[in-house]
Structures are given as structure tokens and as C-alpha cells.
């Protein structure tokens, strides 16, 4: 998108806005140059293998111990090693949900 102007407020940077040529206006609090605005508002999606792992407990008393981890991984060996380490840490046997995605 091409921008038309950046509206800057010296005494109240939370009111800063960027106006685009297509009529869209976005808030850009605290940002004063186009490079910072682009980095904050239009972040690039990281490409790669992405995993979400949920460690779940069966009993209602321990539901507060449920954990969810997510992040990028390089290979399945690294992912399986992480899962095995977390099984030992959380003292779990088979209550694990794993979702794998490729982003990008």
C-alpha cells in the first residue's frame, strides 16, 4: 500500500496516524518514521515448520497444570526430543496433542 501522509503529534505520540491513498487510516502510536511503521504494522510471516504441542492432564484438580508450547523447528528429531523432555518434566504418559503446520 502506498501512504499519503503521516500525521505526527509532538506532545501526544499516541495520536500518531498514517493515511493511505486508498482512504485507510491506521493508528501508529509512538512511531515517527515510515520504516518503524512498516515493521510494526506489516510484519513479515516467518516461513518454516511450525508446531503446537499441548500437554493435558486428565483430572480436574490438575487442569491448571496444562501447558501449550508453540514455535518453529528444524527437523523432527529436534521436535521429538523436545516432546520427550517435556513428558519427563510434566510427568505425563500420553495426554499430548500435537499439530504441525508449514507457514509461508
* DSSP string across 7-74: E--SS-GGG-EEEETTS-EEE-TT--SHHHHHHHHSPPPPPEEEEEEEE--SSGGGGGG-EEEEEEES
pLDDT at 90 over 80: no
103 and 46 Cβ atoms separated by less than 8 Å: yes
One domain for residues 59 and 34: no
Same domain, 75 and 28: no
In this structure, the answer to whether residues 29 and 10 fall within a common structural domain is: yes
Among 17-21, 59-63, 76-80, 89-93, which is the least confidently predicted range? 89-93
Are 35 and 52 contained in the same domain?
no
Q: Which of 7-21, 46-60, 87-101 has the lowest mean pLDDT?
A: 87-101
- Mean pLDDT (the chain, rounded): 84
C-alpha distances (whole Å) from 81 to each of 27, 77, 87, 92 are 43, 6, 10, 15
Give the SS3 label for residue 84. helix
Give me the mean pLDDT over the 36-64 stretch: 82
Rg for the chain (alpha carbons), in Å?
A: 22
Number of domains comprising the chain = 2
Mean pLDDT of 57-70: 81
Residue 42 has pLDDT above 70, yes or no: yes
- Domain membership of residue 34 as a residue range: 3-41
Distance, CA of 39 to CA of 50 (rounded, Å): 22
* pTM higher than 0.75: no
Contact 18/25 with Cβ under 8 angstroms? yes
Amino acid at each position: 500500500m502506498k501512504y499519503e501522509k503521516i500525521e505526527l503529534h509532538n506532545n501526544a505520540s499516541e495520536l500518531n496516524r498514517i493515511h493511505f491513498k486508498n482512504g485507510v487510516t491506521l493508528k501508529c502510536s509512538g512511531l515517527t518514521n515510515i520504516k518503524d511503521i512498516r515493521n510494526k504494522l506489516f510484519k513479515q510471516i516467518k516461513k518454516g515448520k511450525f508446531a503446537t504441542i499441548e500437554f493435558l492432564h486428565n483430572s480436574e484438580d490438575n487442569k491448571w497444570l496444562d501447558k501449550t508450547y508453540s514455535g518453529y523447528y528444524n527437523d523432527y528429531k529436534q521436535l521429538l526430543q523436545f516432546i520427550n523432555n517435556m513428558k519427563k518434566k510434566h510427568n505425563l504418559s500420553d495426554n499430548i496433542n500435537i499439530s504441525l503446520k508449514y507457514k509461508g
